[in-house]
Amino acid sequence: MTDTSSQARLTVWFGGGLVLLALVMFGALLFGAFTISAGDVVAWMFGGDTADTAAQRVLTSIRLPRVLAAAVFGSALGSVGVVLQGTYRSPLADAHLLGYSSAAGAGAAIGFAVTPVAAFPVVPVAFAVVAGAAFGISTAALRTRAGSERLILAGVAFGFALLAWTGLFVLIVDSPRVPTFMFFVFGSLSGATWKGLTVATVVLVPAMFALWRYGPGLDLLVLGDREARTLGFDTRRLIPTVVALVGVVVGASVVLGGVVGFVGLVVPFLLRPIVGPRHRILIPAAAIGGAIAVVMADTLARTVAAPSEIPLGLITAAVGGPFLGWLLLRGTRT
Amino acid sequence: MRVSASNVWYVTNSVSLVCEVSLDLLHGDRVAVVGPNGAGKSTLLSLLAGDLRPSHGSITYAGADISTLSVRQLATSRAFLGQRQAEDIAFNVRQVVEMGRYAYRNDASILPGDDDRAVTAAIEALDLGGLERRLISSLSGGERQRTAIARTIAQDTPLVLLDEPTTALDVGHQEMVLRVTRSLGRSDRIVVAVLHDLNMATAFDHVVLLNNGCVAASGTPEQVLNSESLTEVYEHPIDVVPHPLRPGILVLPSTEE
């Protein structure tokens, strides 16, 4: 009995999600330090001659890369949240809470310090990716040895330590090449450029695709490591591979938007009841959901207090923090 | 497929959990492994599954030492039902049974589909048709157990290892599992089941009685399940009498008056 009705339902949800993402991105192009009319954006999109060339310049060189960066960043955060929750067998697992983001941030900070301001951020991405992957592999052992709560506490402890070292490094180096410390605490897409977007995307997309391919194996982990191995998923070899790939995705995304929490926690939680628990479905769903969430949050970040910017992570934490608290309280009741 | 264990030992912390076990199993064999708690039944099953590596001796599937097989090769050679089943799972019954097909999947396929027949057959064999869409977390212990057995059957391997498959089941479903093992035997699978219920063991072709990790007796149910050896191994008086209603024997642990 193939379930055609649920397949159709999924198709509708995915189609709807993509349409919503397109609408949100279109809307995000309109708002900013100065407002651009929808007509201008449409004319610019279809290559028509926009009356105001300043608007055209803003769209091409500032707003479009930023909105695309927000979408890519959000899809990375969302999908990585799903993968970590599956791998760690806990709905509380998340790149931010487990310390992956801070580790990647530390790597990125060092990389930024040796990279000229207008260059392609190849070195920051490389350093962040290595730091993220190394952190994932070296802490993966906690997965089976510690309970969910201890795991999160360990992640928070590592995260704070790495954040502190990053802060010390950023403040001591005090270089215009390195983003402000705030970037490594609450993130921001204000520095988004075509160059950064290109480097991050080239690294992110293959890694996310590889994680998606491991989807059916990640499904098996709900039964336990031993059962997953019995069914043919080589946990001893593939778990380190998966967490390293997570580190790669987190590393590349950190260079784009810094350290931002809660997206990887909230988005999968909201989507699971809709699209079900299978990773092959949930990973792309969370990528779309994460993109929508971050494009919206980033639009708020740059318009609420315009002309000054609010760090992106403040908005995601303001919404996601209470949500996490609620999740924990609810968990203790059952 | 021929499954052989030759002089297998499993020693941990200088305690022999399994000692000097040799088995030679051919397609169609149905073997019950019995013995008191701590006799090494589950350890022997894990060794046969390739989940544990023998301290001494070797186990082969079709002549190949199983320590040389990849995780995926093992998964297409043997299915293994463990004693405990995960409970708090957001997957439904059908999705869990589909997991049994993982080793055959092409990594590029988005959803299982081509394997539908094996999955549906396993679901029907375990009487789970009405529960397909139910979440595992909403099932009773026995329903979860049947789902896990269906997953094991869906794996469709020449060797099927079952650790206490009937423990959580009611009498009707215990008989159903016995029927499933019989039909596996008829389709040339090797079935090895660890059992606590000695009367259930009488329904198998071959019984291995373990005691302190060693084989105390091995043979047909009538040969192995006799009052003397059971009383000795279980350290409790056990009577074995001819079954009053059908051919075969009935094992009766004596109760103190």
Q: What is the DSSP string of A111-151?
A: HHHTS-TTS--HHHHHHHHHHHHHHHHHHTTHHHHS-HHHH
As beta bridge partners, residue B11 has B16
Find all residues with CB under 8 Å of B5, minimum gap 6, and list them. B21, B22, B23, B24, B47, B48, B57, B58, B59
% of residues, chain A, pLDDT over 70: 95
State the count of interchain CB pairs (< 8 A) between A and B.
Answer: 74
Question: Could you tell me if B25 lies within 8 Å of chain A, comparing CB atoms?
Answer: no
Query: Which of B76, B90, B102 lies nearest to residue A233, judging by beta carbons?
Result: B102
Q: Distance, in angstroms, between A238 CA and closest chain B CA?
A: 11
Contact A230 B120 (CB under 8 A): no
Contact B71 A232 (CB under 8 A): yes
Which element (helix H / strand E) includes B242? strand B238-242
Any idea what DSSP says for residue A180? Answer: P
Chain B residues within 8 A of A90 when measuring between CB atoms = none
pLDDT score of A141? 77
CA neighbours closer than 13 Å in the CB half-sphere of residue A250 = 38
ipTM of the shown complex: 0.91
Helix (H, G, I), strand (E, B) or coil at B239: strand
Contact A233 B110 (CB under 8 A): no
pLDDT 10s digits, B52-86: 999 999 999 999 999 999 999 999 999 999 988 88
In A, minimum Cα distance to B105 occurs at: A216
pLDDT 10s digits, B198-246: 999 999 999 999 999 999 999 999 999 999 999 999 999 999 999 999 8
* Interface probe with A: pick from B66, B76, B84, B99, most Cβ of A within 10 Å: B99
Q: How far is CA A320 from CA A17, A50, A125, A149, A312, in A?
A: 20, 39, 27, 18, 12
d(CA B254, CA B232): 13
Q: How far is CA B184 from CA A224, B28, B81, in A?
A: 26, 8, 15
Contact B105 A222 (CB under 8 A): no
d(CA A127, CA A125): 6
Chain A residues within 8 A of B76 when measuring between CB atoms = 232
Contact B110 A2 (CB under 8 A): no
In B, minimum Cα distance to A216 occurs at: B102
CA angle A279, A287, A295 (to 5 degrees): 160
pTM (2 decimals)?
Answer: 0.91
pLDDT 10s digits, A267-321: 999 999 899 999 999 999 999 999 999 999 999 999 888 778 899 999 999 998 8
Chain B residues within 8 A of A223 when measuring between CB atoms = 85-86, 89, 96, 99
